[in-house]
Amino acid sequence: MDSPQTPQVRVPGETESTQPEPNATVTVTVTANHDCTEIEMGGTQDTSQPEPEPAQQDSTLPDVQAEPELTPPAKKSAGFNFLEFLTSPIVEIIVGKGDDETVMTAHQSLLMEAPLLAEYVEKFEASGPRRISLPEENVDAFGCFLQFQYTRDYTVTRTETPGETTEDKSGDELLRHARIYTLAEKLGLPDLQRIAHAKIHKVKSSPVAELSYARYVYTHTPAADNTIRKPVAAYWANQSHVLRQEVGDDFKKLCIDVPEFSFDVLTIILDRKLKNVSVDEVKGSARKRRRDI
């Protein structure tokens, strides 16, 4: 396999002692099995559709506490030397498998910020190839991770054309952010997790999209992760009496396939009902049943 080319980094007016400008353009070579394309990633390249401010809790979720204000992404330390970044060795990352297998390249210094990838790098031999294989990872999510490492943000291309609704009817946009969230958790990057979670709450979606998103969340995140699970359960606890008319069979299947989802939704419903019941009614419900003699 040919040695990967060094990514080209163009920073207007940049000198060795200055930080890169916010709108710097970073070109990362991505080679698929039979194609070679270039992905241009920039933190502010999408000027036609600027990202809104970090979203608060989804307004469609009544009785759900608002998300805490997100802290800004971590910035490079004051001692970060951009020249050292540029001269960092290039690492080849093979992501996915089969027809989806894609070869990416990135500077080693950026990969070292992710504990999982740092473990791979530390095992490199001095004279051996600098190559990491991640066949189980999602190509699109990993590409967004690299974009975040270079720009401290990432973008997801919208499929809608101008003038059409921005509603995510299929769930593709929700799932893309969710995959980035779970990848960030695996790599040990809480800042990327927070950004992905904030972007999730900006998506206007359909019942079908919410259902596929709920299934992914409950099958790819740990039970203790209330940050992403609680809003999902609260949404369906609040809206299931309406939404099940549109996705009744699929909602039933999800409840059967993923008991944790069913339990969390039912717990929220019962807790709210209990708050509306008087103490006397609660005590009376525990009386003994009449026994026939």
**What is the reported pTM?**
0.67
pLDDT at 235 (0 to 100):
93
pLDDT at 34 (0 to 100):
42
Q: List beta partners, residue 92.
A: 105, 131
**pLDDT at 64 > cutoff 80:** no
Closest CA to 196 of 213, 215, 219: 213
Task: For the chain, list the domains and their CATH numbers.
Answer: 1-43+78-155 (3.30.710), 168-285 (no CATH)
Angstrom CA distances, 167 to 174, 208, 232, 233, 243, stand at: 11, 11, 18, 21, 16
Q: How confident is the model at residue 270 (pLDDT cuts 50, 70, 90)?
A: very high
Closest CA to 203 of 183, 236, 178, 222: 178
pLDDT at 284 (0 to 100):
53
pLDDT digits (tens, 9 = 90+) for 17-56: 444 444 444 444 444 444 433 433 333 334 344 444 544 4
Question: Which position has the higher pLDDT, 63 or 139?
Answer: 139
**pLDDT at 148 > cutoff 60:** yes
Max mean pLDDT among 34-38, 63-67, 211-215 falls in 211-215
CA atoms within 13 A on the CB side of 210: 25
Closest CA to 219 of 232, 203, 208: 232
Measured CA to CA, the distance from residue 141 to residue 178 in angstroms comes to 9
The whole-chain average pLDDT of the chain stands at: 76
The pLDDT of 111-123, averaged and rounded, is 95
pLDDT at 5 (0 to 100):
53
Question: Which position has the higher pLDDT, 33 or 89?
Answer: 89
The pLDDT of 65-80, averaged and rounded, is 47
Question: Which position has the higher pLDDT, 111 or 56?
Answer: 111
Q: Which residues contact 243 (CB under 8 A, 6 or more apart)?
A: 207, 210, 236, 251
Give the chain's radius of gyration (CA, Å). 24
Contact 145, 177 (CB under 8 A): no
Angstrom CA distances, 242 to 55, 62, 211, 235, 245, stand at: 25, 14, 13, 11, 6
pLDDT at 81 (0 to 100):
63
Question: Which position has the higher pLDDT, 9 or 90?
Answer: 90
pLDDT at 134 (0 to 100):
97
Contact 283, 276 (CB under 8 A): no
**pLDDT at 167 > cutoff 50:** yes
pLDDT at 116 (0 to 100):
95
Q: Which of 32-36, 80-84, 145-149, 216-220 has the lowest mean pLDDT?
A: 32-36
**pLDDT at 92 > cutoff 90:** yes
The pLDDT of 188-209, averaged and rounded, is 94
**pLDDT at 229 > cutoff 80:** yes
The pLDDT of 90-106, averaged and rounded, is 96
